Amino acid sequence: DAKTTQPPSMDCAEGRAANLPCNHSTISGNEYVYWYRQIHSQGPQYIIHGLKNNETNEMASLIITEDRKSSTLILPHATLRDTAVYYCIVSPSGNTGKLIFGQGTTLQVKP
Amino acid sequence: DAGVIQSPRHEVTEMGQEVTLRCKPISGHNSLFWYRQTMMRGLELLIYFNNNVPIDDSGMPEDRFSAKMPNASFSTLKIQPSEPRDSAVYFCASSSQGFNYGYTFGSGTRLTVV
């Protein structure tokens, strides 16, 4: 399985954009980039995923570099409720491949 | 939709006892996953099913652990006998091929073995 590298922790001011980086230099052509987050004591929550193109939904934007070796998750206006552990995962296409979680990035949004 | 439903939310049991965790996936989802989370090891995939068939159980730690999915709406994870090192939060998740909203996780079962 391809592996990802994320910084262990980041801070962000409330109302500002949070940019969470992820390196996945060994990603294969058929592997998607997935982002999940886990708020304390809750189950992980799906945020967004993409293959090549940049993606945006109501929660976040996903920017994938042209060589697909890295990506950035952008929370455009972080709130205190966005404080969580954010996981970047690569996995084969489709939702029935298994997701292997790493250690993630702990994002602390501060007032 | 009520989402993925897990029961019980909390379980405290004595070492050596049998423990059964339950999961009801989202209706229409055909894949189901069991994860375990501890501070030391993070989130670990234990086993997953496609169309009620176990596909990969390589993450099941020992023969003491077993999982079943008798039908599309129910799965169990059983530990027999339980040990203190099994204490963790156990999550169930479900997904549907072609459904672009990823996996949906349940709220988890916090297991404490004393």
- Asked if residues B67 and A4 have their Cβ atoms less than 8 Å apart, the reply is no
The total of other beta-carbon atoms located within 10 Å of residue A52's CB is: 12
- Please tell me the distance from the alpha carbon of residue B47 to that of residue B68, in angstroms, as a whole number: 10
pLDDT tens, residue by residue, B8-60: 999 999 999 999 999 999 999 989 999 999 999 999 999 999 999 999 999 99
- Asked if residues B84 and B114 have their Cβ atoms less than 8 Å apart, the reply is yes
Query: Sign of torsion, CA A78 A82 A85 A91?
Result: negative
Q: How much is the average pLDDT of A11-15?
A: 97
CB contact under 8 A, A98 and B48: yes
Decide if pLDDT at A95 tops 90. Answer: no
**Does A92 lie at the interface with B, CB-CB under 8 angstroms?**
no
Where does the pLDDT of residue B98 fall: very low under 50, low under 70, confident under 90, or very high at 90 and above?
low
Residue A90, class by beta-carbon neighbours within 10 Å (0-12 exposed, 13-18 middle, 19+ buried)?
buried
Decide if pLDDT at A96 tops 90. Answer: no
CB contact under 8 A, A95 and B96: yes
**Does A49 lie at the interface with B, CB-CB under 8 angstroms?**
yes
